[in-house]
Amino acid sequence: MNANVPDITQNNGQTEFDRFQDHYPTRRASDPAVLARSEPVAYGSAHVGPLDQLALNQYAESGFIHFDHFFNSNELNMFLKELNSIRTNQSIKSQAGSIFEPNSQEIRSIFAVHNKSEIMHSLCYHPRLVLIAQQLLGSEVYLHQTRINYKAGFRGQEFYWHSDFETWHAEDGMPRMRAVSCSISLTENTHHNGPLMLIPGSHLSFVSCVGETPENNFKSSLRKQDVGVPDDESLQKLIEHRGIISTTGPAGSVTFFECNMMHGSNSNITPQPRSNVFVVYNSVRNRLVAPFCGLPARPDFVAHR
């Protein structure tokens, strides 16, 4: 992805050698720990990119920025039609990247969605999204992961609290916190249908989890995550100190949130489905190394190497 965004490290001292050091150990000790973040949050400058300094400051402090009506109605209708088409495509449903709910045959997620159709490819590589990601990360970017999260009416199950970076670091070998997730709402997200919930400011602390990573953990964790989830005490302290916000908004809304943000969502027991596309942009300066859990890397449909 090419845009005129220079590589900006803000003197964080990261070198090629540093990429192979484990700065955020997790799933090793018998007790959880909370580690301070050791690198910048917003790498870019207000002089290069669509975000002004106020937006960059908000992202650095709270860990997210939200836009209502990011896409116009024509774009939204095209993306929504394609989302529904993919959901009912039997060939796609039979592929390895299609994940079902833990207790039913309802589709939960479809990974590597940018490879499923030209329309989804154009969404994940949308120039306005890419420019924001490059500005936040201060470099060119590539797609680390893409997926559709379908949360069907009545039966869409929860996603428990977690930091994506904890999993990406342990199981994919993402060295540092220099990635950003983009949640694109293709249906309305209300307070009732299981919207994305964030703990603002939680990206400034890394919760080191307990529990050794099983082999091929992704086969179960993508349906229901049990390893790499924070302990109750650490969560309680984060929430008491930081609070919780729900990223509600109309269809076409977009939320960028930092890769170490603690987030989750409730189950959906309303008749109103909640379907979002997640696009994860990683800095080209933060390419994956060997997984820090010591196991083989997860498949490419989960983490593009």
Domains in the chain with CATH codes: 23-189+201-286 (2.60.120.620)
Asked if 188 contacts 271 with a C-beta cutoff of 8 angstroms, the reply is no
Reply yes or no on whether the pLDDT at 12 is more than 50. no
Per-residue confidence band for 261, with pLDDT thresholds at 50, 70 and 90: very high
At 146-201, the pLDDT tens digits run: 999 888 888 888 888 999 999 999 999 999 999 999 999 999 999 999 999 999 99
Asked if 260 contacts 62 with a C-beta cutoff of 8 angstroms, the reply is no
Q: Please give the Cα distance from 293 to 49 (Å, whole number).
A: 36
Say which residues have a Cβ less than 8 Å from residue 172's Cβ, sequence separation at least 6.
144, 288, 291, 297, 298, 302, 303
Q: Please give the Cα distance from 229 to 233 (Å, whole number).
A: 12
CA atoms within 13 A on the CB side of 199: 26
- pTM of the predicted protein model: 0.91
What confidence score (pLDDT) does residue 13 get?
A: 45
What confidence score (pLDDT) does residue 10 get?
A: 44
> Mean pLDDT, to the nearest integer, of 26-46?
94
Per-residue confidence band for 6, with pLDDT thresholds at 50, 70 and 90: very low
Rg (CA), the chain: 18
Per-residue confidence band for 8, with pLDDT thresholds at 50, 70 and 90: very low
Asked if 59 contacts 136 with a C-beta cutoff of 8 angstroms, the reply is yes
Per-residue confidence band for 2, with pLDDT thresholds at 50, 70 and 90: very low
